[in-house]
């Protein structure tokens, strides 16, 4: 028996979510008194995993994995789960993690819960706490099957270091040929994505026009933040749909979310509740977003934001 | 081409979320149920295939009689017929197994399901369904074109999008973006009248076990009041020294 973590790598490196699932897997292995095994592919330096408790690492390198067919990746993870007799498989909630996890669960005939925010409340019965109702509630959900798949919500558990000497094994199970081909990809490589961001700067209809996004860009740049927007802004075409945060857009689970000129409709709040600190800048002191925020400034964004950018530059110069 | 659109009947996005029976059940009192937003986008895209490419369009939902109102709305928007599987949608794996039986029976070429429902947010039904059927699968789909047997699918990825090519039969987990907002259709009177005459077939569920069970719910702790700040210096100080996020 073991706990299996799928640690996704991107261009040979591990993102924070991979270390978060590894941290979670290590703690769960301790809770269940069993071993942690991490499965990954195409990663060169596994030290970050070892630092977070990965004693055994199964590393895939086969050409079969150079596919855009998620079913092949699911087979890869399932092969590792079967080899290691994994009782619980843990997968992150990135766009790839959320893509592959249900397939893994169906192939293992395992119960699956997504958006899990903490270690199991009990292990017999196996009960986890997860976000539901667009983060307006938590659900305590029992996984009733002997094999279980957990989708860990991003930035919910945190990173825990427990350095070990790790043993990396080549892992090359027989895999089929993918039936899905990628013909093009369009990805902003020089910008922080909403998924990876520690800080997000978001603009709403209060900014009056897409032409006024310069100050949002300036603020995002000084903070090393990702840019986001409300639904009306993407519907109006001021900003691309990929920047839409909210119930039907992306989930923002960051440490800091700065909302500028966003009133805070319930659908928008459903996308930002998982962020830890929310700052609201709005002319309307009655804007509902203030009720959901930690810090607020009532005032004109066109005056406040440039000042904030200027002062943050000074702050960054002093504090590095 | 035979298209099946999977519909989840969910509380309207502005609903107050409350629970009853010792916090074990969602309180439906005063709540209006609607087509899950991602499913409504899916249905709208499917209507394009019906009107431009002569596809047939069936909608399906798992639930008790109360979901028929939502299915009738889908028929009023333009689906040809509807299937209700007469069972409580307790768990995503259970729902996927029920839907797989419907797909096998009806031999659908393209199955479109919203990437997640906005109530339980499981996000698992499309992927599980594809796996059970051994169909090709693409998730987070914001665009789809079909030519004969070939599908060109745009998928949202972290920080951008990618274009994929695959073949039918295919399951897609679709989301906002697959149609433009202004393309969404409000059923007109004629549509509503016609929907009453369209077939809404009730099917009994196949034997399947739920793999998970929601035991109870809780609402997040009431957060403390927002700290109002007068100027940006004070804000930067608080973010650095109090919140420790910069």
Q: Are residues A63 and A158 in the same domain?
A: yes
Q: Are residues A149 and A221 in the same domain?
A: no
- Inside any domain, residue A272: yes
How close B72 gets to chain A, by Cα (Å)?
23
- Inside any domain, residue A193: no
Tokens, residue A120? 């199991």
Q: Are residues A12 and A155 in the same domain?
A: yes
pLDDT digits (tens, 9 = 90+) for A253-274: 999 999 999 999 999 999 999 9
CA nearest B182 in A: which residue? A235
- Inside any domain, residue B133: yes
**Residue range of the domain that includes A287:** 199-319
ipTM > 0.85, yes or no? yes
Q: Is B167 helix (H, G, I), strand (E, B) or coil?
A: strand
Q: Are residues A241 and A285 in the same domain?
A: yes
User: Which residue from A237, A216, A233, A235 is spatially nearest to A225, judged by alpha carbons?
Assistant: A216
Q: Are residues A125 and A237 in the same domain?
A: no
Tokens, residue A278? 């929310």
- Among B158, B213, B216, whose Cβ lies nearest the Cβ of A94? B158
Q: Is A165 helix (H, G, I), strand (E, B) or coil?
A: coil
CA angle B114, B120, B122 (to 5 degrees): 60
Report the CATH number at residue A253. 3.40.50.1220
How far is residue A78's CA from residue A149's CA, in Å, rounded to a whole number?
Answer: 11
Of B36, B125, B232, which to mutate for an interface test with A (greatest number of A Cβ within 10 Å)?
A: B232
How confident is residue B237, by pLDDT bands cut at 50, 70 and 90?
very high
- Inside any domain, residue A186: no
Instruction: Tally the domains of chain B.
Output: 1
With 80 as the cut, is the pLDDT of residue B117 above it?
Answer: yes
Whole-number pLDDT of residue A187: 87
- Inside any domain, residue A184: no
Asked if the Cβ–Cβ distance from A255 to B233 is below 8 Å, we say: no
Phi first, then psi, for residue A220 (nearest 5°) are -60, -40
| Neighboring chain B residues of A110 at a CB cutoff of 8 Å | 211
Q: Are residues A14 and A111 in the same domain?
A: yes
| Neighboring chain A residues of B220 at a CB cutoff of 8 Å | 135-138, 273
- Inside any domain, residue B226: no
- Inside any domain, residue B9: yes
Q: Are residues A210 and A266 in the same domain?
A: yes
- Inside any domain, residue B246: no
Per-residue pLDDT, averaged over B223-242, amounts to 96
Report the CATH number at residue B108. 3.40.50.620
- Inside any domain, residue A26: yes
- Inside any domain, residue B56: yes
Tokens, residue A295? 């810090």
Asked if the Cβ–Cβ distance from B233 to A311 is below 8 Å, we say: yes
Q: Are residues A147 and A269 in the same domain?
A: no
- Inside any domain, residue B95: yes
Instruction: Tally the domains of chain A.
Output: 2
Whole-number pLDDT of residue A188: 80
CA nearest A249 in B: which residue? B176
Q: Are residues A281 and A132 in the same domain?
A: no
Q: Are residues A114 and A63 in the same domain?
A: yes
With 80 as the cut, is the pLDDT of residue A320 above it?
Answer: no
Of A106, A125, A153, which to mutate for an interface test with B (greatest number of B Cβ within 10 Å)?
A: A106
pLDDT digits (tens, 9 = 90+) for B126-154: 999 999 999 999 999 999 999 999 999 99
With 90 as the cut, is the pLDDT of residue A219 above it?
Answer: yes
Q: Are residues A126 and A226 in the same domain?
A: no
How far is residue B202's CA from residue B195's CA, in Å, rounded to a whole number?
Answer: 16
pLDDT digits (tens, 9 = 90+) for A72-89: 999 999 999 999 999 999
Last residue of a domain, one of A170, A187, A216: A170
Asked if the Cβ–Cβ distance from B160 to A223 is below 8 Å, we say: no
Cβ-contact B228, A281 below 8 angstroms = no
| Neighboring chain A residues of B240 at a CB cutoff of 8 Å | 315, 319
User: Which residue from B184, B149, B182 is spatially nearest to B43, judged by alpha carbons?
Assistant: B184
- Among A182, A193, A311, whose Cβ lies nearest the Cβ of B232? A311
**Residue range of the domain that includes B143:** 2-220
| Angle, helices A70-83/B125-133, rounded to nearest 10 degrees | 80
- Among B93, B138, B223, whose Cβ lies nearest the Cβ of A111? B93
Q: Are residues A161 and A229 in the same domain?
A: no
């Amino acid at each position: 028996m073991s706990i299996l973590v799928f640690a996704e790598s991107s261009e040979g490196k591990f993102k924070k979510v991979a270390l978060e699932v590894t941290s979670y897997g290590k703690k769960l292995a301790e809770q269940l008194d069993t071993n942690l095994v991490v499965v990954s592919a195409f990663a060169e330096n596994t030290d970050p995993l070892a630092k977070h408790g990965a004693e055994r690492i199964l590393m895939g390198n086969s050409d079969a994995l150079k596919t855009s067919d998620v079913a092949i990746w699911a087979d890869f993870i399932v092969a590792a789960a079967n080899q290691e007799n994994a009782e619980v498989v843990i997968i992150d909630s990135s766009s790839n993690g959320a893509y592959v996890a249900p397939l893994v669960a169906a192939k293992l005939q395992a119960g699956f819960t997504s958006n899990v925010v903490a270690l199991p409340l009990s292990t017999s019965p196996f009960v986890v706490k997860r976000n539901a109702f667009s983060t307006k509630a938590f659900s305590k959900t029992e996984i009733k099957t002997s094999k279980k798949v957990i989708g860990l919500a991003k930035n919910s558990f945190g990173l825990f270091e427990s350095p070990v000497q790790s043993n990396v094994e080549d892992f090359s199970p027989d895999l089929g040929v993918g039936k899905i081909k990628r013909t093009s990809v369009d990805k902003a490589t020089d910008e922080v994505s909403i998924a990876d961001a520690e800080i997000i700067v978001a603009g709403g209809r209060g900014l009056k026009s897409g032409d006024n996004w310069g100050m949002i860009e300036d603020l995002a740049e000084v903070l090393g933040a990702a840019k986001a927007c409300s639904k009306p802004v993407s519907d109006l075409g001021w900003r691309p749909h990929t920047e839409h945060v909210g119930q039907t857009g992306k989930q923002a689970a960051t440490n800091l979310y700065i909302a500028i000129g966003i009133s805070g409709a319930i659908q928008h709040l459903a996308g930002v509740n998982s962020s830890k600190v929310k700052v609201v800048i709005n002319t309307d002191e009655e804007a509902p977003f203030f009720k959901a925020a930690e810090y607020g400034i009532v005032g004109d964004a066109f005056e406040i934001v440039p000042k904030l950018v200027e002062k943050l530059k000074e702050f960054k110069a002093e504090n590095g | 081409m035979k298209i099946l659109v999977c519909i989840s009947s969910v509380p309207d996005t502005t609903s107050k979320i409350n629970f009853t029976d010792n916090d074990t059940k969602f309180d439906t009192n005063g709540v209006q149920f609607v087509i899950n937003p991602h499913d409504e986008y899916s249905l709208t895209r499917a209507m394009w295939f019906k009107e431009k490419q002569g596809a047939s369009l069936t909608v399906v939902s798992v639930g008790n009689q109360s979901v028929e109102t939502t299915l009738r709305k889908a028929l009023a928007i333009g689906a040809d017929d509807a299937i209700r599987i007469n069972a409580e949608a307790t768990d995503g794996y259970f729902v996927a197994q029920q839907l797989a039986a419907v797909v096998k029976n009806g031999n659908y070429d393209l199955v479109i399901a919203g990437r997640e429902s906005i109530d339980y947010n499981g996000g698992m039904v499309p992927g599980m369904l594809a796996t059970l059927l051994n169909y090709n699968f693409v998730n987070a789909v914001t665009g789809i074109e079909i030519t004969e047997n070939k599908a060109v699918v745009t998928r949202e990825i972290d920080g951008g999008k990618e274009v994929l090519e695959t073949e039918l039969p295919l399951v897609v987990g679709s989301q906002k973006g697959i149609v433009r907002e202004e393309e969404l259709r409000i059923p007109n009177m004629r549509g509503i009248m016609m929907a009453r005459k369209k077939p809404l077939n009730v099917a009994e569920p196949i034997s399947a076990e739920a793999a998970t069970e929601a035991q109870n719910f809780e609402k997040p702790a009431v957060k403390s009041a927002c700290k109002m700040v007068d100027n940006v210096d004070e804000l930067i100080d608080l973010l650095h020294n109090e919140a420790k996020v910069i």
